[in-house]
Each structure stands twice: as structure tokens, then as C-alpha cells.
């Protein structure tokens, strides 16, 4: 058995080595060293197959090994068995049942990137940055991202409860929700909020988002808008192509939008604006926060680095990596982080995020913002912390629906545009001159 396993492992490693042997001899040397280490895995599998108290299927062991390997890489790489691969393929094509949150792992914790608009999680009050510590009374301490997604998904009409800690606080909050079909409109809201200022809220980047945004902005301009506020807060991202197309609406031809770098030649690319901008004169302000991720960060970074607009709000999430799904021969697949995104100025988005030009916080920063994973779950093990529910305590700190009167980030953006307009209205003949 051990000999057979060694031959199989050697075969796959040899195939991998052949890919790099001509272009990069160093890779072949690394692969040779890897085989020496893989013998340990072969030994472990052999022992389990022959000596474990119960019979284990070889495929289960192989799947478990791959899950373990991908789980050590980052918060986004994972293994998909055939059923999981089929589910994720169906999700990208249309509706799916769930509660409507984008999640990822950060600092070893399961975190909400952002809730999607008009979904059960959004309506319940789940926030970007919330730490999910339980799903249906099951602790998430050793739960993989893929397992968490599977537990959160389900048939429409079924119930799921999540327990969260917000901003590293000592209190926990329970959210009981009914799963539903998730289908999100990319543009949630648009309107004139001042005589010359338009407002658009993009909640996700989809195939039609660029066309929808172009039509909306043209309508606002026809109503007198000379300045535009684009709200990307709590936008978890979406399609890369959509972010690039929207950037092209505002940037000059041939300006760099984003570039990506990985280890292989195919993972390196840059994206530039191909055409003259549709909206070259309108003044722009983008609102971002900790729930702005992925495609949102690409758009915000392009606008900031090309000095086309001003960013207002809070540092974005920092989900600046590319995952490639590689199908395997048994209809399973590996989702692997293969490259990282960089803004035009060369800043990596991965784990860093975009820093706004003008930082406006909407809630106090927790003293425990760097709380450790073990500290959180030790609190649950002790079972001495006070547990609170939404009915017992009001926990909403920032409004989910845009409050145009009390939204301090939005009001700041409006005042900036007003200030720019006043400054530009001052002509040389009215300005005070200091001649020598």
C-alpha cells in the first residue's frame, strides 16, 4: 500500500515538475525536495488505512489531506468536493438560498466582509466586520471557510442562527434568520441630494452595473448634477470586469486601473482604460468603509491613485486577491489564491485595503480590535460572559438605510463638493491679488 501511494504521489509531482522544467530549473529542484517531504504524508496515510480502528475510504483521506493543505494557505483557498463544486458553479449563474453575507477569514477568525442589501442578514442588522463565533450552536473556532458557507446556505424558508461578536466587544449577539433566495440589484439608490449634487449607491458589481451606472449618471447630469457621490460602503465586490468598466467611465484613456501579480506568467496582467472617459468633467467623491472589498477596492484605488476623485470614509476591507478554481479529474476542484491586486501606485490590496483621503469614522474603535482568536473562544468555554440578544439590547451603531440628514460621511462629501464649487466660482477679478 505504501509503495502504491508513493508511486501515485511521485506521478503528480513529476507532472508538476514538467510544467516548470524548461522555463524555471529552480522549480524542478523545489519539486524534487518536495517529494522527500511528501513521503511523510504517504507514511501517515498508509498507517491510517491499515491501523485505524475503523475502515476509512482512501478518497476520504485524500480529500481530508487536500482540505488541510489548502486550509493552511490563506482565508480564501479551499478544496471543493464534487457536490460543493457543483453548488458554487450554480451560485455564480443565478439565485441561491442563504442569508446574504460575504464572509472570509482574517486573523484566524470568521468575519463578515459585508451583508448584501435587502437580504435576511442585512435586514437583521449584521454588520461588516462582525466575527461569527457560532452557527446553529456550533463553534466556528476550527471551522473552515467552506464548511461555514455550507452551514449558512440552505433551502429557502429554513432557519439558521448565527452568534456574533462586534468589534471585539465582550458581549455576543444572536441573529435568527430565515434563508431566502438571494438576488441583489447592483444599484440600490440614486437621487439628487442637492441642487448640483447627485448620489448613487452601488451594492455589488455585476454584468450590467456599468451600463446601469452610466444611464443613472446621465440622468442625474440632465437634472443639473455637477458633482457626484458614489457610495461603495458595504459593497463586497463582484466582477473584476465590472470594476474596470466603471473605472473607464471616469478615467482618461490608457490610465492604469489595476494590475495583478502572481508566481506564474499567466497570473500577471495589467488593466488600463481603453477609451476616452464618458464623464470627464463631473467632480467625484467615493464613500468607502470596512465593508468595501474586492472590486470596490479596485475601483476606489484607481480613482484615488489617478487623482480623479476624493475618497471619504474608512479603510476598506483588504480583500485584494484573485482566486482561480481549478477542476480536478473526479469533478472536485481546488480554489486557489493565484495572484494579488495592486493599485496603480503599486500598493497591494491584500490584507491592507484602501485608505481614504479624508477619514471619517462612524463608530468608536474598540479597544479590543486586535483581540486574539483563542481569547474569544476561551470566553465561550468559560460560559461566564453575559449573552445578549437583539431584543434585549439595541446594538445598531450605524444606519443600514442611508439617512441623508445624519450620515456624517455623506454630509462630509456634500460639503467637500460645495467647497470645490465655491472655490472654482472665485474668478481672478474677484480674488485678492498680492502684486509686487
Q: Are 335 and 76 in contact (CB under 8 A)?
A: yes
Residue 305 annotated in active site: yes
| DSSP sequence for 173-190 | EEEEEE-EEE---SEEEE
**CA pair distance 296, 319, nearest whole angstrom:** 10
Beta bridge partners of 190: 200
Angle 220-221-222 from CA coordinates, rounded to 5°: 90
Q: Are 226 and 256 in contact (CB under 8 A)?
A: no
Q: Are 125 and 166 in contact (CB under 8 A)?
A: no
Q: What are the distances in angstroms from CA 349 to CA 76, 257, 308, 339, 353?
A: 15, 13, 19, 11, 5
Query: What number of other Cβ atoms are within 10 A of residue 64's Cβ?
Result: 14
Specify the length of the chain in residues.
436
**CA pair distance 393, 388, nearest whole angstrom:** 7
Options 180, 273, 294, 296, the catalytic residue: 294
**CA pair distance 75, 108, nearest whole angstrom:** 8
Residue 59 annotated in active site: no
Gyration radius from the chain CA atoms: 25
Options 81, 212, 305, 407, the catalytic residue: 305
**Per-residue b/e over 140-178, b at no fewer than 16 CB within 10 Å?**
bbebbbbbbbeebbbeeeeebebbbbbbbbeebbbbebe
**CA pair distance 211, 99, nearest whole angstrom:** 28
Here the cell at position 272 is 488600463
**CA pair distance 338, 324, nearest whole angstrom:** 6
Place of cell 469614522: 361
Residue 319 annotated in active site: yes
Place of cell 472617459: 277
Options 74, 231, 319, 332, the catalytic residue: 319
Any idea which residues carry the catalytic annotation? 294, 305, 319
Amino acid at each position: 500500500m505504501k509503495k502504491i501511494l508513493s508511486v501515485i504521489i511521485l506521478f503528480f509531482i513529476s507532472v508538476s515538475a514538467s510544467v516548470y522544467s524548461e522555463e524555471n530549473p529552480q522549480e524542478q529542484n523545489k519539486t524534487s525536495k518536495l517529494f522527500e517531504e511528501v513521503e511523510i504524508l504517504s507514511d501517515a496515510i498508509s498507517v491510517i488505512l491499515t491501523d485505524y480502528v475503523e475502515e476509512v475510504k482512501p478518497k476520504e483521506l485524500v480529500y481530508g489531506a487536500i482540505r488541510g493543505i489548502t486550509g493552511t494557505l490563506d482565508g480564501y483557498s479551499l478544496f471543493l468536493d464534487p457536490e460543493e463544486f457543483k453548488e458554487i458553479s450554480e451560485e455564480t449563474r443565478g439565485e441561491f438560498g442563504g442569508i446574504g453575507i460575504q464572509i472570509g477569514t482574517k486573523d484566524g477568525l470568521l468575519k463578515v466582509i459585508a451583508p448584501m442589501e435587502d437580504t435576511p442578514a442585512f435586514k437583521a442588522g449584521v454588520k461588516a466586520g462582525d466575527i461569527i463565533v457560532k452557527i446553529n450552536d456550533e463553534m466556528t473556532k476550527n471551522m473552515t471557510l467552506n464548511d461555514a458557507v455550507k452551514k449558512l446556505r440552505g433551502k429557502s424558508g429554513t432557519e439558521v442562527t448565527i452568534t456574533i461578536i462586534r468589534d471585539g466587544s465582550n458581549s455576543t449577539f444572536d441573529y435568527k434568520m430565515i434563508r431566502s433566495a438571494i438576488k441583489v440589484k447592483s444599484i440600490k439608490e440614486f437621487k439628487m441630494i442637492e441642487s448640483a449634487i447627485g448620489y448613487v449607491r452601488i451594492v455589488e458589481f455585476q454584468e450590467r452595473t456599468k451600463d446601469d451606472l452610466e444611464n443613472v449618471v446621465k440622468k442625474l447630469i440632465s437634472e443639473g448634477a455637477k458633482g457626484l457621490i458614489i457610495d461603495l460602503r458595504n459593497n463586497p465586490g463582484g466582477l473584476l470586469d465590472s470594476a474596470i468598466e466603471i473605472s473607464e467611465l471616469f478615467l482618461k484613456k490608457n490610465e492604469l486601473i489595476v494590475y495583478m501579480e502572481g508566481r506564474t506568467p499567466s497570473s500577471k496582467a495589467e488593466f488600463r482604460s481603453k477609451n476616452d472617459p464618458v464623464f470627464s468633467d463631473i467632480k467625484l467623491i467615493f464613500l468607502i468603509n470596512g465593508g468595501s472589498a474586492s472590486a470596490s477596492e479596485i475601483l476606489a484605488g484607481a480613482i484615488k491613485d489617478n487623482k480623479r476623485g476624493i475618497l471619504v470614509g474608512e479603510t476598506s476591507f483588504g480583500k485584494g486577491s484573485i482566486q482561480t478554481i481549478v477542476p480536478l479529474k473526479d469533478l472536485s476542484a481546488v480554489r486557489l489564491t493565484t495572484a494579488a491586486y495592486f493599485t496603480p501606485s503599486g500598493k497591494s490590496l491584500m490584507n491592507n485595503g484602501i485608505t481614504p483621503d479624508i477619514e471619517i469614522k462612524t463608530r468608536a474603535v474598540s479597544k479590543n480590535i486586535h483581540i486574539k482568536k483563542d481569547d474569544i473562544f476561551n470566553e465561550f468555554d468559560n460560559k461566564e460572559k453575559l449573552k445578549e440578544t437583539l431584543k434585549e439590547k439595541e446594538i445598531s451603531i450605524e444606519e443600514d438605510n442611508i439617512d441623508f440628514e445624519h450620515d456624517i460621511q455623506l454630509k462630509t462629501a456634500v460639503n467637500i463638493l460645495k467647497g470645490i464649487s465655491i472655490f472654482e466660482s472665485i474668478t481672478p477679478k474677484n480674488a485678492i491679488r498680492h502684486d509686487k
